[in-house]
Chain A
Amino acid sequence: MTVEKMILAVITTSPHKVAGGVTFVCENNEEMQRIAANLEAILDGIAHALSDDLLIIVKH
Chain B
Amino acid sequence: MNEYTYPILFGVTIGVLTRLYLLKTDYRQYPTYLHGKIIHIALGFIAAGLGTIAVPAIMEKEFAAITFLALAASQFRDVRNMERNTLNELDQYELVPRGKTYIEGIAIVFEGRNYLVIFASFLSTFAYLVWNIWLGIVAAAIAFIVARKLMSGSRLGDIVEVEYVKPHFKGAGLYVDNIYIMNIGLEARREEILRYGMGFILKPKNFNARSTIANLGQRQAILHDISTALGVYRDSGTPALVPLAKRDLDDGRVGIFILPQEKDVEKAKAIIRNVPTLENAIRMPTKSETNQAGRVLR
B38 beta carbon closer than 8 Å to chain A: no
Question: Beta-carbon contacts of A48-60 to B below 8 Å, as 1s and 0s?
Answer: 1100000110011
Chain A interfacial residues counted at CB < 8 A: 15
Choice from B172, B182, B188 contacting A37 with Cβ under 8 Å: B188
Is B186 touching A33 in the complex (CB atoms < 8 A)? yes
Q: Are A44 and B239 in contact (CB under 8 A)?
A: yes
Q: How many A-B residue pairs have CB under 8 A?
A: 40
Task: Decide: B187 and A33 in contact? CB cutoff 8 A.
Answer: yes
The smallest beta-carbon distance between B27 and chain A, in angstroms, is 28
Instruction: Please give, as numbers and ranges, the residues of chain B lying within 8 Å of A37 by CB-CB distance.
Output: 186, 188
Query: Smallest CB–CB gap between A14 and chain B, Å?
Result: 15
Q: How far is the CB of B233 from chain A (nearest CB, A)?
A: 16
User: Which residues of A lie under 8 Å from residue B294 when comparing CB positions?
Assistant: none
Q: Which residues of A contact B172 (CB under 8 A)?
A: 48-49
A41 part of interface (Cβ distance < 8 Å): yes
Query: Which residue of the partner chain A has the closest CB to B190?
Result: A49
SS of A interface (majority): mixed
Contact A60 B184 (CB under 8 A): no
A47 to B240, CA, bound (A): 8
Q: How far is the CB of B224 from chain A (nearest CB, A)?
A: 18
What's the least CB distance linking A26 to chain B, in Å?
13
Give chain B interface residues in 230-250, CB to chain A under 8 Å: 236-240
Residues in A whose Cβ lies below 8 Å from that of B239 = 44-46, 59-60
Asked if B154 lies at the interface with its beta carbon under 8 angstroms from chain A, I say no
Partner among B171, B188, B240 whose Cβ is within 8 Å of the Cβ of A46 = B240
Is B183 part of the binding interface, using a Cβ–Cβ cutoff of 8 Å?
yes
Q: Give every chain A residue within 8 A of B240 (Cβ-Cβ).
A: 40, 46-47
Q: Do A47 and B189 have beta carbons less than 8 Å apart?
A: yes
Given known contacts A40-B240, A44-B237, A49 and B183 CB-to-CB distance under 8 angstroms: yes
Interface, chain A (partner B; CB < 8 A)? 33, 36-37, 40-41, 44-49, 55-56, 59-60
